[in-house]
Amino acid sequence: MKTIIKYVLLDLLKNKTILVYTLILAAITISVSGIGDNASKALLSLLNITLLFVPIISILFSTIYFFNSVEFTELLLAQPIKRKTMLLAEYAGIAIALTIAYLVGVGVPICIFYYNLAAVTLIISGLFLTLIFSALALLIFVLFKDKTKGIGAAIITALFFILLFDGLLLSFIYSFSDYPIEKPLLGLISLNPVDLARILVLLQLDAAVMMGYSGALFKKFMGSAMGSIYTLVCMLCWTIIPLITAARIFKKKDI
């Protein structure tokens, strides 16, 4: 397993897309951090950039890489190695590469300019989003045989969590505004890792104006500490469940 991870990681670290992704994140982070002395505003701007770029780049790049590595996967399947081990090793390699890119591009500059709890929380949120959407990419790769359909599914998945989910949530709130829907809403918000990442950071910034209805709910019913723990547990589940599902499907799949 270590050999596969090492091979995939070394291959990806030489990939120009990873390099460009790192440089773009670093340029944006440094430019945003250099504007003004207000740490909260800078971190909020970086949060919005993280919530937009990290999910879509992670899921798209991972999906394309998995489909382009089908021949390599077939070669590994011919070796005396378990399917589950091989699949998770490939995932680990790409997840580590994207994690390094995020840490170098966002983590290091943030720690230089703003080393506080909110900054660390932002880094953790970005890392979780990287792991989650790479795991979703793996699940898409296992579910679809056709590369075009897989990439289409990856784009739809990213857009759903980034844009469409909040619209559907607002429609739900508007439709059932006469009923006590606060607690069911907490469960619905847990179904979107992007919202969870946003709330996790906003709970640390205590930005009441930017927190929105969902963030206010988390703070009201759980408080900052319990709300943060709950979001971290949910994001961990969002990472593990797609991986377990993908491994089980791939075990029986005829590739």
pTM for this one? Answer: 0.91
Q: What is the pLDDT along the chain (255 residues), one digit of tens a residue?
A: 777 788 888 888 888 899 999 999 999 888 887 665 677 778 888 888 899 899 999 999 999 999 998 887 777 777 777 888 888 989 999 999 999 999 999 999 888 888 788 888 899 999 999 999 999 999 999 998 889 999 999 999 999 999 898 888 878 878 877 777 777 777 888 899 998 898 888 777 755 445 555 556 666 665 567 777 888 899 999 999 999 999 999 887 766
How many domains is the chain partitioned into structurally? 1
pLDDT in tens, 212-254: 555 566 666 655 677 778 888 999 999 999 999 999 998 877 6
Considering Cα of 81, then 87, then 88, then 94, what sign does the dihedral take?
A: positive
Q: State the alpha helices, DSSP H only, in the chain.
A: 2-13, 16-33, 39-68, 70-77, 83-102, 108-113, 117-143, 147-159, 165-175, 182-189, 193-205, 208-252
Cβ count within 10 A of residue 138: 26
Q: Which of 70, 46, 128, 62 is nearest to 97 (CA)?
A: 62
Considering Cα of 181, then 47, then 211, then 128, what sign does the dihedral take?
A: positive
Cβ count within 10 A of residue 46: 25
The parent domain of residue 25 ranges over 2-252
pLDDT in tens, 181-213: 777 777 888 899 998 898 888 777 755 445 555
